[in-house]
Amino acid sequence: MSVDNERRILLKAEGISKDYVESSVVTHVLKGVDLDIYTDEMVAVIGSSGSGKSTLLHILGTLDKPTRGNVYFNGENLFKMSGRARDYFRNHHLGFVYQFHHLLSDFTSYENVAFPLMISGEYTKAQIDERVKYLLDRVGLGHRMNHRSSELSGGERQRVAIARAIANKPMLILADEPTGNLDFRSAGEVFDLLTELRAENHCSMLVVTHDRELAKRFERTCEMSDGLIKVK
């Protein structure tokens, strides 16, 4: 067995603070969050609405910058690298799933899943075709391949979004309330799918949610309150 099979820290957030300034009023949303995410694990951050979960996820995914603090991925400081290196990191090592699917509504399921693979520039057309078909079958949507996302149900859209997030074989999936907009049954199906695909791909996954029932189903949960994370 190689060293790679040992659990190690994949992403390390250290002292993350975020202040928003609006009409000279400063809001301290994050006040020094520390969080370690290990390889091949699934973690939930639970917190009430407005506690800063999305803000934290955007910072971990380099879509936003912290006011203070650092984020390391495989030991590399994400906010010290060049913008280009950060774009590469985001496109190749991260998958995002949002509460509202963020699919391109005029494009088909196939096209939505194919886009990140085309952008990465690392696959041939035949490889993309094989992977997209495999993934859409895997999420139970082989028969919806050529449907536009505007023609799909909420649960189906979220399944396409999951296939898209995992298409590039990311090392980390960041999911922001991925079941928050679904009915009970679809939410259960989407959660099961995320769990299964994460395990099959041996990637790590961080889910932020306000749903305490959902959070009970995670291997590890952390609580976010008053701008800090309490690690259990």
Q: How far is the CB of 221 from ligand ADP (least distance, A)?
A: 15
Residue span binding Mg ion (CB under 5 A) among the ranges 49-57, 108-116, 140-148, 179-187: 49-57
Tokens of 102: 């963020």
51 lies in the site for ligand ADP, by CB under 6 A? yes
88 binds, among ligand ADP, Mg ion, none (CB under 5 to 8 A by kind): none
- The span from the first CA to the last CA of the chain, in angstroms, equals 30
100 lies in the site for ligand ADP, by CB under 6 A? no
| Cα 128 to Cα 132: distance, rounded to the nearest angstrom | 6
Residue span binding Mg ion (CB under 5 A) among the ranges 46-54, 145-153, 179-187, 221-229: 46-54
| Cα 66 to Cα 69: distance, rounded to the nearest angstrom | 6
209 lies in the site for Mg ion, by CB under 5 A? no
Nearest to 146, CA basis, from 125, 160, 131: 160
Tokens of 166: 């995992």
19: helix, coil or strand? Answer: strand
Restricted to residues 1-40, the positions that interact with ligand ADP (CB under 6 A) are 20, 22, 27, 29
For ligand ADP, the closer CB: 52 or 116: 52
| Cα 20 to Cα 227: distance, rounded to the nearest angstrom | 13
47 binds, among ligand ADP, Mg ion, none (CB under 5 to 8 A by kind): ligand ADP
53 lies in the site for ligand ADP, by CB under 6 A? yes
Restricted to residues 111-170, the positions that interact with ligand ADP (CB under 6 A) are none
Strand partners, 22: 25
54 lies in the site for Mg ion, by CB under 5 A? yes
Residue span binding ligand ADP (CB under 6 A) among the ranges 2-10, 34-42, 53-61, 109-117: 53-61
Tokens of 93: 């090592």
| Cα 68 to Cα 174: distance, rounded to the nearest angstrom | 21
Out of 39, 54, 108, 168, point to the residue binding ligand ADP (CB under 6 A).
54
Contacts of 223 (CB under 8 A, 6+ apart): 45, 46, 47, 229, 230, 232
Residues that bind ligand ADP (CB under 6 A): 20, 22, 27, 29, 47, 49-55
Residues that bind Mg ion (CB under 5 A): 54
